[in-house]
Amino acid sequence: MRNDLKMGLAWMAAALLCLTPLRAVSARTAMARTPMLALQQAKWIPEGSARPRHVIYVFMDANCPYCHALWLALKPYYRSGLQVRDILVGVISASSPGKAAAIFDAANPSAALRTNEIRWDHGIDAGGGITPIAHPSAKDLRELARNEALMQAFGIDGTPGLVLADAKGKVYVAGGLPAKSELGRIVATASVPAH
């Protein structure tokens, strides 16, 4: 009941904040291509379909309640061919970089991310349920810094941040938790990136 109430409040807060809608960045197509290529080459953690028809990159923090709400809301779309590629940042709290490092360094980062979300608010602190690494490695901290710079390159100020491209390569960005009513349209717009 406690988590249901928190998720309901998260969705209500998101609706009240009038979060940034899905917006095209095609006016800056030449500029968007370089960050999009960097995004495709970033260290992302896959969730959902192994043979995706739709791909959405999500900048997320292991302690972000809105990221957790989005994680729950996108799960039903995995059956329709959605693959979410999570790009971890460590911006919410002092334990965020350590939790990201624990996920990065796990034998199976996808399973570690799921553990973080399944055990949401049951960890050693509020937020994700994975135990943070006390002293993340320099490599992990560099990865987090790259991810945060990439997030800023797309004009995303906080988490979650969604980036996707349609079948024609037009890039779209949404900052914040999209309304549940918009998720179907966002997934339908997303296409598998060309390599």
Q: Each residue of 72-125: pLDDT tens digit?
A: 999 999 999 999 999 999 999 999 999 999 999 999 999 999 999 999 988 677
> Which domains are present in the chain?
2-189 (3.40.30.10)
Tokens of 129: 């349920």
pLDDT value of residue 122: 80
Contacts of 129 (CB under 8 A, 6+ apart): 115, 116, 117, 118, 119, 120, 121, 122, 123
pLDDT value of residue 7: 45
CA distance readout (Å), 92 to 8, 60, 105, 174, 183: 20, 10, 20, 18, 24
Q: How far apart are CA 127 and CA 115, in angstroms?
A: 12
* pLDDT single digits (tens) 32-54: 557 788 898 899 999 999 999 99
